[in-house]
Structure 1
Amino acid sequence: MGEAARYDVVQISDFRLPGGTTSSIAEEVRAQSEAGLSTALMHAAGSVTGYPIPWSTHIRRILDLPGVHVATPRDRLHATVLVIRHPTVIWSTPSTFDHVTADHVVIVVNHAAIDGAGTRHYDVEATDRRVRSLFGLDPIWAPIGPVVRGTVLQQTTEVPLRDEDWVNIFQMPEGAAERETFIGKKPVIGRHSRPQPGKWPDTKEDILAAYPNSPGYDVQILGGAKIARRKIGWIPDRWTVIPFGGEEPFDFLRRIDFWVYMHHPDLREAFGRAAMEALAAGCVAILPPYMKALFGDAALYAEPHEVLALVDEHWSSPEAFLAQSRRAQEFARSFSPQMHLRRLQELGVAVPETGATRQDEPAVAGTDAQAGASAGPQPTFVLNLDPQDLGLARELTRGLSATGSPVVMGLVADGAEKDPLGPDEIRLPGPPAFHLVEETGAGTWRRYITQRLRRLLADVGARRVVTVGTTIPEPVMEAFDGQAVEHHWVRPDDGSPLDVQLAVRMNAVSAIAADAAPETLAVTILKESTL
């Protein structure tokens, strides 16, 4: 049985979720990457999202970051800290994580256990039991704020709650300057949210009270207005409506004076990431009263029918408006990435000192690739592309090693329990990742695979690459394009003719059919090598 890949942090969630869950994960992963920590992203399909949609753009944007890797629930790995975000995901996923272990397991509670109408969204104690069963550890329940903490305590006091909230971190966006005056000649009221029924007030009267169809106000909506139209019967002609994803939130928020977020009375926001974005942009936020426990004096609070009175009051006093805007931005700055790194340190993660080199590959027990690459004969990187050719690739690796050449193998395999890692082997994404269609986000996946291979070559220090496979997928070709590597292609002996055009494009020094013993192939490769 191969040794487990080791990571500082493993993040488990349903990465299809489009909103605060995945954006919060992305912020934490960015902080971990910048600090030099290794992170594995492990998708667990839950009941929260029942549609065959691609991963959130928040997740796709972090796949290329140094130290970030994609893992599957079947992989064999160990985490210093395993972070599960969204309790419903871990409760409902069919994945069993048979080979995933950790020193600590944290359940980040970013969704209310009970809503304002008393409806249970998940069973806290049952979820706790399932996590204990899956990972063999007592999990730490970590609410992201006082509101969601209260909903957990409404259900039970029998699960171990973290003393401090696991608040979402927030990186102030570039260009978040202090406001100096109003946007225009009349108050600009704005909101942005996902197009879900709970994100809007429940009645026509409340919607129009908070977002008036009046010549005295400019109302801007990011996220669509289908829900409002159902309630009102029409879309007010004085509203400007932008569909969800139609503009970057920060660009939108820079055009807003008053960010007004009124929603369904049954909803209880666990944190309110959209509100935090508005505060960071310097908007004066007007929120439901219960959210004062989250944001304190960084925002104003009102029921829908009270919104315009607050808007008018602060419009008539620029000094009060600017003072409130600055309180908002100062509050947003306090949720820094350093806060997240400190709580990881408390759980045993060794955070490198500032300026430390980022960890690009997980540590694998028994592997010393970089040490082997630093001295002696020219190191070789063997890339196995098909699980069916694994035996050939390993025999070839042993043959090359016997000649005194340090060898590291990149193993593309379809499940850790079938193909445990051996010494000097590193697991890479499985075959489906090389052939995703464009509609499912292939561009991001291909960039991830290409950049990971390039970083791996740099870490190993290899200038000689031996690729084992019937053909070479495009992301692999892109990884080697323009690189100072000598490429050898070993093709399984399946009787197929050599693809000469492919061999020429990859600038292969040799293209060898595997019709001889691996030891002979190794000698042939080294004989034809120019290194």
Structure 2
Amino acid sequence: MAQHLDDLHDWFWRRLASRARAPKNGIVEFQEPKTERLLEADICIVTYCGFPGGNAVTTITEAQTFRDAGYDVAIVNCSIKKSRWKWGWVSERYLAVSDLMYLGHRLRRISCRTAIIRGPRMVTTRNFERLAKKMCPERAIFVINNSAYNEDGSAIFSWADLHERIGALGWPAVEICPTGPIIRAECLREMPAEEIDLSDRDWPPVIDASAFQFTPRSQLSEPIVIGRHARDHPGKWLDERAELLRVYPDNDPSIRVSILGGAETVDRDLGGIPCTWSVAPFGLNSVQDYLSTLDIFVNFPSPSRHEAFGRTIIEAILSGLPVILPSRFEATFGELAFYCAPQEVRNLIGKIAADDPGRMVFLQRAKEVATDLFCSPSLLLRLDARTQNQKPVLDGAAARWRQTILSSL
């Protein structure tokens, strides 16, 4: 009877939705073929599956990694939308793992050994409150994968409210894990120390190393091709045109700028796209194909952006690219990248490009460390709650070469 009533309810809302606005590109209505009302799994990943970017890629990679290791895995969509007729909307990326997918509002009971609950905004919704009453995990890992604030300073969630909601669940074993040092530091700023209940370890996004071919350039010659890939958003660009052009020059014949993901923000708000830049939208080429055209990955988002992690940076390292970033990223990526101010980027590019043998040694070791810390095998180790954070540190010739480059700036 419960199944029939839910089916009738969803049919009504779908009919109503058919008269309203359709999902935007990249979002589909998930037609759940399953009739089970009781879900039992070793690992249950609960998240809002309507985000098409990094959250989707990370969730799918985690699920596939666990499944390949022999675990019984489920992905449960908990919508952040208030309208019921949107509760089945998910990113089309999830169609690749549709056999693992469930719609949270159609389940009566969820039993699992480990629940990985990703998305602080989702946790503060009424939909998650309803879903949590159906869940009985032996332990739960809450992954805080974004800042509490938008770039304009508006609130996405409250750290105090998040702690209160999680504490009120009464589950037997709960861990609150930031994705990295930047989010951890934000929590420490926002709450009194005695009220913070963060785990000692982070839960960074996991990346499938096999999706990125390690092809470092054995020689670099001018023009050096630099760039980065990201969705076009004001938070992804520096705020001032002068600063932007120090990082991505418009009149330096020794450097060519290639951007994937569009640059309408630059065109609209920052004085126009330089005619010497090459800009492509997402969809024309795969990320791997794009990275294979670069010599150095350079990523300088707005200082006001609270970047939780930055999986594109690890993707670049896995592809064999040197990476240049603002210094605030050092807490997350340690010795895997180079850090400088915008006015130092041009000089740093020259130093990196000038020593081919040293660069190749560095890139090989950086790739090995990135694989150990941020790729699929590391995920399985995290199931052991005793696993501790490891800093991205190099050793030997790779560490010495990196230090020599930075000391020469």
TM-score using structure 2 length: 0.76
Which runs of structure 2 are paired with 1:100-111 in the superposition (5 Å)? 100-111=135-146
**1:7 equivalent among 22, 41, 53:** 41
Q: 2:378 aligns with which of 325, 339, 348?
A: 339
Match of 2:77 in 1: 43
Work out whether 1:84 is the aligned partner of 2:122.
no
Offset of residue 287 of structure 1: 0.7
Deviation digits for residues 405-431 of structure 1 (CA, Å, limit 9, x no counterpart): xxxxxxxxxxxxxxxxxxxxxxxxxxx
1:119–1:150: structure 2 CA closer, same or farther, 3 Å change rule? farther
Task: Indicate conservation of the 8 Å contact 2:223/2:254, yes or no.
Answer: yes
Letter in 2 for 1:113: A
Contact 2:139 2:171 in 1 (8 A): no
Q: Which residue of 2 aligns with 1:247?
A: 285
Corresponding residue for 1:195?
232
Structure 1 residues 320 and 114, CA, compared in 2 at 3 Å: closer, same or farther? farther
Say if 1:274 and 1:297 are closer, same or farther in 2 by CA, change over 3 A: same
Letter aligned with residue 208 of structure 1: L
| Cα distance change, pair 180–283 in 1 and its aligned pair in 2 (3 A) | closer
Q: Are the aligned partners of 2:137 and 2:171 in contact in 1 as well (CA < 8 Å)?
A: no
TM-fit CA distance, 1:326: 2.3
Residue 22 of structure 1 corresponds to which residue in structure 2? 56
In the alignment, structure 1 residue 72 sits paired with structure 2 residue 104: yes
Residue-by-residue CA offset, 1:13-71 (whole Å, 9 max, x unaligned): 1111122222111221111110111222111222699x96953344333335xxx2424
| C-alpha distance in 2 between matches for 1:71 and 1:328 | 40
Counterpart residue number, 1:186: 223
User: What does 1:136-151 correspond to in 2, within 5 Å?
Assistant: 136=171, 139-151=174-186
Q: Distance in 2 between matches of 1:149 and 1:47?
A: 27
Q: 1:236 corresponds to which residue?
A: 274
Q: CA RMSD in A?
A: 2.8
Measure how far apart 1:80 and its partner are.
1.2
Relative to the length of structure 1, the TM-score reads 0.60
Give distance in 1, aligned partners of 2:142 and 2:76.
14
Q: Where does structure 2 lack aligned partners over 5 or more consecutive residues? A: 3-35, 387-409
What displacement does 1:170 show? 2.1
Secondary structure (helix, strand or coil) at the match of 1:61 reads helix
Alignment of 1:287-436 (within 5 A): 287-334=325-372, 335-346=374-385
Is the counterpart of residue 213 in structure 1 residue 250 in structure 2?
yes
Confirm or deny: 8 A CA contact 2:212 2:318 kept in the other structure: no
Structure 2 distance, partners of 1:262, 1:211, is 9
Is 1:90–1:127's contact at 8 Å kept on the other side of the alignment? yes
- Judged with a 3 Å threshold, the aligned counterparts in structure 2 of structure 1 residues 155 and 139 are, in CA distance, closer, same or farther, namely farther
Write the distance in 2 (CA, Å) between the matches of 1:245 and 1:293: 32
Contact 1:191 1:261 in 2 (8 A): yes
In the other structure, the counterpart of 1:164 is 201
Q: Secondary structure of the residue that 1:62 maps to in structure 2? A: helix
User: Residue 321 of structure 1: CA displacement?
Assistant: 3.0
Residues 4/174 of structure 1: CA separation in 2 closer, same or farther (3 Å cut): closer
Larger helix proportion, structure 1 or 2?
2
Structure-2 separation of matches of 1:71 and 1:329: 37
Q: Alpha carbons of 1:79 and 1:134: their partners in 2 closer, same or farther (altered >3 Å)?
A: same
Distance 2:37 2:300 in 1: 52
Q: State how far apart, in whole Å, the 1-side matches of 2:230 and 2:151 are.
A: 19
CA contact (8 A) 1:47 1:88 kept: no
Q: Distance in 1 between matches of 2:316 and 2:171?
A: 41
CA deviation profile, 1:60-113 (whole Å, cap 9, x unmatched)? 33335xxx2424234122121111112012113534113222111211011123
The whole-number CA distance in structure 1 between the counterparts of 2:279 and 2:82 is: 27
Give the aligned length.
343
Q: For residues 208 and 370 of structure 2, what CA distance do their matches in structure 1 show?
A: 8
The worse-fitting range, judged by mean Cα deviation, of 91-100 and 283-292 is: 91-100
Is residue 268 of structure 1 aligned with residue 303 of structure 2?
A: no
Residue 338 of structure 1 aligns with an amino acid whose one-letter code is: P
What is the DSSP-based 3-state SS (H/G/I as helix, E as strand, rest coil) of the residue aligned with 1:6?
Answer: strand
User: Aligned letter for 2:72?
Assistant: S
Aligned partner of 1:423 in structure 2 is: none
SS in 2 for 1:241: strand
| Corresponding letter in the other structure for 1:168 | P
Long gaps (5+) in structure 1: 348-531
Structure showing greater Rg? 1
In 2: Cα distance, 1:85 partner to 1:94 partner: 14
Structure 1 residues 92 and 304: CA distance shift in structure 2, 3 A: farther
Return the offset for 1:289.
0.2
Distance in 2 between residues matched to 1:47 and 1:90, nearest whole Å = 12
1:123 aligned partner, one-letter code: S
Task: Please say if residues 47 and 93 of structure 1, whose CA atoms lie closer than 8 Å, have aligned partners that are also in contact.
Answer: no
Offset, 1:127: 1.6
Please give the alpha-carbon distance, in whole angstroms, between the structure 2 residues aligned to 1:47 and 1:135. Answer: 25
